[in-house]
Structure formats: structure tokens, C-alpha cells
Amino acid sequence: MRIKVENILGLLEQGVTPQEILADYPDLEPEEMKACLAYARALVANESIDTVNVEVAR
């Protein structure tokens, strides 16, 4: 089973804990979750962000 990096990051953004994600996806290994974060960091490491608009769901 493949889980998108985007999905893992979205769950973390929503406040789901890594332990909860691992419980919901038993095939996912802790090292793979760390790899998701490392991949996201690598993507933004050399980028500049001028403006970021964040919408908060109410």
C-alpha cells in the first residue's frame, strides 16, 4: 500500500500525532514517516517564500 507524502503531511498539519498515523496505517513504518518530513524539508530548503496565506478552518 502506498501513502502519499502529501497525505502524511496533511494529517500532521491537522494535529494528528505520529502515533495515531502509525496506528491508522499499520504498514507505515516510523522511518517512512521521517522520510516524508525529510523529503518535504529538502523541497523547501533552497526556496524563498515571499508571502504565505494560511486559512484556518473554523
Over 90: is that where the pLDDT of 14 sits?
Answer: yes
* Lookup result for grid cell 494529517: 11
- In contact, 28 and 22? CB cutoff 8 Å: yes
Grid cell at residue 30? 516510523
pLDDT tens per residue across span 19-43: 999 999 999 999 999 999 999 999 8
pLDDT digits (tens, 9 = 90+) for 43-53: 888 777 667 67
- pLDDT of 54 > 90? The answer is no
Q: What is the DSSP string of 26-52?
A: TT--HHHHHHHHHHHHHHHTT---S--
Indicate yes or no: pTM above 0.75: no
